[in-house]
Structure 1
């Protein structure tokens, strides 16, 4: 890295102070009626509590997690968003997104509360099948993103799809 990125000058003060490692760090925040960042699912490997409103959770490369962000002003909601992200190694290409360092492979990005709520309902349905959402095929999250982006109803995830995804991972792995 060179220039500003190497010095950390463009990063937030909290995430810039983190050690350079192979983990993906996510800053979570809760300020009542103002801002909420939370993890809906994902197996974190480390947690650092900064104060009663802020913490940083970390994920190993390959881990999939869902980050939900909501913020409001005195005039109402200004952002509702869910990102489903795969943590990457430092040698992989990645996309940047707020509160996530260095970034990750964004499998799904949905904005506006009605759509975010729909994705949360789909996650609940996957859990009712007895499947951990972090183990779902990345292709499923991509198809939800693609179909919702064009206004179509996403396909539901099935046990058969999940078994096929696990077999494919075993064969590729």
Structure 2
């Protein structure tokens, strides 16, 4: 894959497979962007501190951003995003091109930590969080935003999601 992520241009509509690109930066203790879960379709290393992960359409991933300065943490954010396919509507977010369907968007370390714990709980069921029902991530987002407890993800909910997904085109 060519490293033209920073060129500022959208890929040609007819050029190869459609991918969602996420730029990750790691400057220890200052700027740390990472993927908590998701199945990437490719990686491009830009330099010692930056790389780009690409995700196929309909892939779900969690993108964590953290930054600090001399006075402490200035950004703590997690986004759970579904990669879009060519022609689908999408929402934009920093470091993700062209964008995606945002299932969850939370900022502030206490809430980010609760999302990370919810991801751990899904994994504890033996389920890859990238395969969990998108409605679970939307539910978690809505409950955290208003400061209410959320329902945990259950195997029955996952089974129902898998069956429903088989019926959709």
**Which residue of the partner structure matches residue 62 of structure 2?**
66
**Which residue of the partner structure matches residue 96 of structure 2?**
100
The 5 Å alignment of 1:121-136 reads 121-136=117-132
Give the 3 Å change call, closer, same or farther, for CA 18–47 of structure 1 in structure 2.
farther
1:166 partnered with 2:162 = yes
**Which residue of the partner structure matches residue 39 of structure 1?**
35
Gaps of 5+ in 2: none
**Which residue of the partner structure matches residue 23 of structure 2?**
27
What CA deviation, in whole Å up to 9, does each residue of 1:31-88 have, x standing for no partner?
0111000000000001001112110000011000000000111111111000000000
Number of equivalences: 162
Cα offset, 1:16, TM superposition? 2.5
Give the 3 Å change call, closer, same or farther, for CA 28–127 of structure 1 in structure 2.
same
Residue 151 of structure 2 aligns to a residue whose secondary structure is coil
Give the 3 Å change call, closer, same or farther, for CA 51–154 of structure 1 in structure 2.
same
Work out the CA distance in 2 between the residues paired with 1:95 and 1:76: 30
Work out the CA distance in 1 between the residues paired with 2:5 and 2:102: 24
Cα offset, 1:17, TM superposition? 6.5
**Which residue of the partner structure matches residue 86 of structure 1?**
82
**Which residue of the partner structure matches residue 8 of structure 2?**
16
Work out the CA distance in 2 between the residues paired with 1:15 and 1:64: 25
Give the 3 Å change call, closer, same or farther, for CA 120–79 of structure 1 in structure 2.
same
Residue 57 of structure 1 aligns to a residue whose secondary structure is strand
Gaps of 5+ in 1: 1-11
Question: Alignment RMSD, CA only?
Answer: 1.6
Query: Which of the residues 125, 130, 133 maps onto 1:137?
Result: 133
Q: TM-score, normalised by structure 2?
A: 0.91
